[in-house]
Amino acid sequence: MDVLHNKQVLCVEAINVPLAARGVDYSLTLPHVSYLRVGSLYPLQLLFQCLQKFHPSSTVRQIRLHIKSYSTNSTDPNKKGTMRAWQIHQYGGNEELTLSDSVTIPKIKDPRGILINIHAASINPIDCHMRAGYGSTAMNAIRQKTIFPTNGGEFPLILGRDFSGEVVETGRDVRKFQRGDEVWGTVFASKQGCLADYTIAQEHEISLKPSIITHTSASSIPYVACTVSAAFTEFGGLRENSLKDKRVLIYGGSGGIGTFAIQLMKAFGAEVATICSTDAVELVTSLGADVVIDYTKQDVRQELANMEKFDIILDSFGKEKTGYSMEFLKSSKCNDSKYITLKHPFLKNIDDYGIPVGLLRSLSDAAIDISLGLRKGISHRWAIYLPKGKALERYAKLVDDDQIIPVIDKVFQFEDVPSAFEKVEQGHARGQSQ
């Protein structure tokens, strides 16, 4: 796609998930959940640690915002000192989004921090929910921890989690990157986001971008890639070499998580089944899905019952809608099969009840899920997005080898960010369009 000089554009990824239609999914995880023992203090300690690591994730529909900044006199922080950014000053609806051209360019405060000139950024459903205040209790608790470089307080808040851009400046301890490197990555939810000309990322949150695609295309991948990576590896306990010939069921195959997960599992040699609506069947099939269930024409539960059981299920809808699907996992005494969910009440519990009580409620909810899985002979895991530059480095190679392709639906002007938020919330993005 050609982008005019100094133009700011926004690209919408085709990842509407009809089955989750009116329900957007977030995620959050309890690492090594299979090792928790009921009655032990360790789970509670671990839950507190989660506040220092975790970030909500949305697994349905994404819109990619692409900020192309080629004007040297408008992007050099040494000359200007300010940047454009979309901000909110309080939680609420789209009316809270304001565009400012006088936001101070962030300064590197951490020795491993990296200042990045954003060429392309993105809007995910989680941004819509963060705009409304979702996860704010936990994120504010994290911002108050001095060991976390947050580049600002709660407000004004810049939304947007992933980006593609160019390194402008590095902290003194950064070794892997230098000025001029083209990189892609994500930023943690407690930090200022990427709907701006510049952002600060940590060295471990980024990697060199794929060489064969544009910044616009590259920015459509990091957030969902890190979410899928965390779900399958950090929290699912799976490794690339263990996925060959595994049977994997992915809910929401046409969503951001789904489109990436299908391609990744196929690249790793798995057999993939997925669920979507009629208008997405062609898309998910083109991405490599071996079996596609059209929920508008078929009885999903009956179709799954007629299939060979699965080794792994990635659930982005939550047990209220898909809890029955655990019966379609292979059962074993070793709990080898994995039910990995990206939707659970961790952040919501903290928002509703505060940190102490919210953590305890989440501990109880997690214990129930673990116990249910054990009784069925499977391993039940909660999972969330975690920034991971090493995973992005691996996925960049897969992109360059044409094993993973970006899925893009529409392009907006940067000034039309509110319209992009509206489109994300409507959830009607589909296919490729630029």
pLDDT digits over 190-204, tens only? 999 999 999 999 999
Residue 425 scores a pLDDT above 70: yes
Residues 14 and 217: their CA atoms lie apart, in Å, by: 12
User: Which stretch, 29-38, 105-114, 148-157, has highest mean pLDDT?
Assistant: 105-114
**Are 334 and 232 members of one domain?**
yes
Collapse the DSSP code of 95 into the 3-class scheme (helix H, G, I; strand E, B; otherwise coil) and give the result. helix
User: Which stretch, 41-55, 70-84, 354-368, has highest mean pLDDT?
Assistant: 354-368
**Are 193 and 88 members of one domain?**
yes
Identify the band that residue 54 occupies on the pLDDT scale cut at 50, 70 and 90: very low
Under a CB-based contact definition with an 8 Å cutoff, are residues 351 and 129 in contact? no
Q: Residue 427: count other Cβ atoms within 10 Å of its Cβ.
A: 20
**Are 181 and 192 members of one domain?**
yes
Residue 427 scores a pLDDT above 90: no
Whether residue 4 lies inside any domain: the answer is no
Whether residue 54 lies inside any domain: the answer is no
Angle at 56 between CA 52 and CA 57, to 5 degrees: 135
Q: How many residues does the chain have?
A: 434
List Cα–Cα distances, 34 to 4, 39, 255, 366, in angstroms: 51, 14, 28, 10
**Are 203 and 228 members of one domain?**
no
**Are 13 and 150 members of one domain?**
yes
**Are 204 and 228 members of one domain?**
no
Average pLDDT rounded to a whole number, residues 63-78 = 43
Residues 194 and 46: their CA atoms lie apart, in Å, by: 29
Whether residue 288 lies inside any domain: the answer is yes
Does 402 or 416 have the greater pLDDT score? 402
Structure pTM? 0.82
- What mean pLDDT value characterizes the chain? 82
Kindly state the tokens that stand for 231.
């779900």
Whether residue 331 lies inside any domain: the answer is yes
Kindly state the tokens that stand for 256.
């951001």
Whether residue 344 lies inside any domain: the answer is yes
| Residues with Cβ within 8 Å of residue 111, at least 6 apart in sequence | 171, 172, 173, 174
List Cα–Cα distances, 192 to 130, 200, 268, in angstroms: 12, 8, 34
Residue 420 scores a pLDDT above 60: yes
Write the DSSP string, 250-312.
Answer: ES-TTSHHHHHHHHHHHHTT-EEEEEE-GGGHHHHHHTT-SEEEETTTS-HHHHHHTSPPBSE
Kindly state the tokens that stand for 250.
């992915």
Query: What CATH number is associated with residue 195?
Result: 3.90.180.10
Collapse the DSSP code of 149 into the 3-class scheme (helix H, G, I; strand E, B; otherwise coil) and give the result. coil
Identify the band that residue 241 occupies on the pLDDT scale cut at 50, 70 and 90: very high
Pairing of strands 206-208, 291-294: unpaired
What pLDDT, on the 0 to 100 scale, is given for residue 319?
A: 75
Average pLDDT rounded to a whole number, residues 13-41 = 31
Under a CB-based contact definition with an 8 Å cutoff, are residues 177 and 110 in contact? no
Pairing of strands 62-66, 338-341: unpaired
Under a CB-based contact definition with an 8 Å cutoff, are residues 424 and 20 in contact? no
Identify the band that residue 150 occupies on the pLDDT scale cut at 50, 70 and 90: low
Cis before 111 (ω within 30): no
Residues 42 and 209: their CA atoms lie apart, in Å, by: 38
Under a CB-based contact definition with an 8 Å cutoff, are residues 199 and 386 in contact? no
Average pLDDT rounded to a whole number, residues 313-320 = 87
H or E element at residue 364: helix 355-375
Domain count, the chain: 2
Residues 316 and 225: their CA atoms lie apart, in Å, by: 14
Identify the band that residue 47 occupies on the pLDDT scale cut at 50, 70 and 90: very low
Residue 339 scores a pLDDT above 50: yes
- Burial class of 222 by CB neighbour count within 10 A (0 to 12, 13 to 18, 19+): buried
Residue 390 scores a pLDDT above 60: yes
**Are 213 and 292 members of one domain?**
no
Identify the band that residue 152 occupies on the pLDDT scale cut at 50, 70 and 90: low
What pLDDT, on the 0 to 100 scale, is given for residue 29?
A: 33
Closest CA to 252 of 162, 337, 329, 321: 321
Collapse the DSSP code of 224 into the 3-class scheme (helix H, G, I; strand E, B; otherwise coil) and give the result. helix
Average pLDDT rounded to a whole number, residues 220-244 = 96
Whether residue 369 lies inside any domain: the answer is yes
Identify the band that residue 151 occupies on the pLDDT scale cut at 50, 70 and 90: low
What pLDDT, on the 0 to 100 scale, is given for residue 43?
A: 38
Whether residue 64 lies inside any domain: the answer is yes
Least confident of 47-61, 172-186, 192-206, 392-406: 47-61
Sheet holding 247-250, edge to edge: 291-294, 271-276, 247-250, 312-315, 338-341, 379-382
**Are 147 and 293 members of one domain?**
no
Residues 85 and 301: their CA atoms lie apart, in Å, by: 46
Whether residue 166 lies inside any domain: the answer is yes
**Are 218 and 228 members of one domain?**
no
Residues 132 and 148: their CA atoms lie apart, in Å, by: 23
**Share of residues in the chain with pLDDT > 90 (%):** 67
Average pLDDT rounded to a whole number, residues 169-187 = 98
Residue 307 scores a pLDDT above 50: yes
What pLDDT, on the 0 to 100 scale, is given for residue 162?
A: 95
Write the DSSP string, 300-329.
Answer: HHHHHHTSPPBSEEEESS-HHHHGGGGGGB
**Are 24 and 96 members of one domain?**
yes
Average pLDDT rounded to a whole number, residues 201-221 = 97
Under a CB-based contact definition with an 8 Å cutoff, are residues 317 and 343 in contact? yes
Does 224 or 24 have the greater pLDDT score? 224
- Strands in 71-112 per DSSP E: 82-88, 98-104
Residues 163 and 219: their CA atoms lie apart, in Å, by: 5
What pLDDT, on the 0 to 100 scale, is given for residue 58?
A: 34
| Residues with Cβ within 8 Å of residue 334, at least 6 apart in sequence | none
Distance of CA 226 to the CA centre of its chain: 6
The residue segments making up the domain with residue 165 are: 9-28+60-222+387-399+406-426
Residue 354 scores a pLDDT above 90: yes
Residue 380 scores a pLDDT above 80: yes
**Are 138 and 237 members of one domain?**
no
Average pLDDT rounded to a whole number, residues 317-343 = 88
**Are 262 and 294 members of one domain?**
yes
pLDDT tens column, 28-42: 333 333 333 233 333
Does 59 or 258 have the greater pLDDT score? 258
Does 413 or 308 have the greater pLDDT score? 308
What pLDDT, on the 0 to 100 scale, is given for residue 78?
A: 54
What pLDDT, on the 0 to 100 scale, is given for residue 430?
A: 52
